[in-house]
Amino acid sequence: MPSTAAITIYIFGATAIYQGASILLAPRHALAAKQLPESARPALTSFGVTISGLGIFYTLAAYQENRTFFALTLFRIPAAIIFGAQGPGWRPMAVWEVFATLATAASLAWEGWV
């Protein structure tokens, strides 16, 4: 049975894979959701590939119960700040980053790892 911290990482990884796939499968919808012009499509597509890859890393780390990786994910707060500063289209992602970080931190603390 995976630890509570691993479950938080699995969830974050799965949502990252889903978000990346959504961007790659429906780029025009993603552009509209993020309030970006059509000219931003190549950058957003690259972001979709990147976030999918990160999701794979996260799920692999969760499977391996890689506690060091779990602790390092607590440094997602700078990403949340950057996403939040990009405007309303990016704020849900910023909130999700903060929520996921706090959930992982609480799980690690509960398990006595931090």
Look up the pTM and report it: 0.87
* Domain positions in the chain: 4-110
Task: Please report which confidence band the pLDDT of residue 113 belongs to, taking 50, 70 and 90 as the band edges.
Answer: confident
Q: Are 9 and 65 in contact (CB under 8 A)?
A: no
pLDDT at 114 over 80: no
Tens digits of per-residue pLDDT, 57-84?
Answer: 999 999 999 999 999 999 989 999 999 9
Q: Which residues of 73-96 are buried (b: 16+ CB within 10 A; e: fewer)?
A: beebeeebeebbeeeeebeebbeb
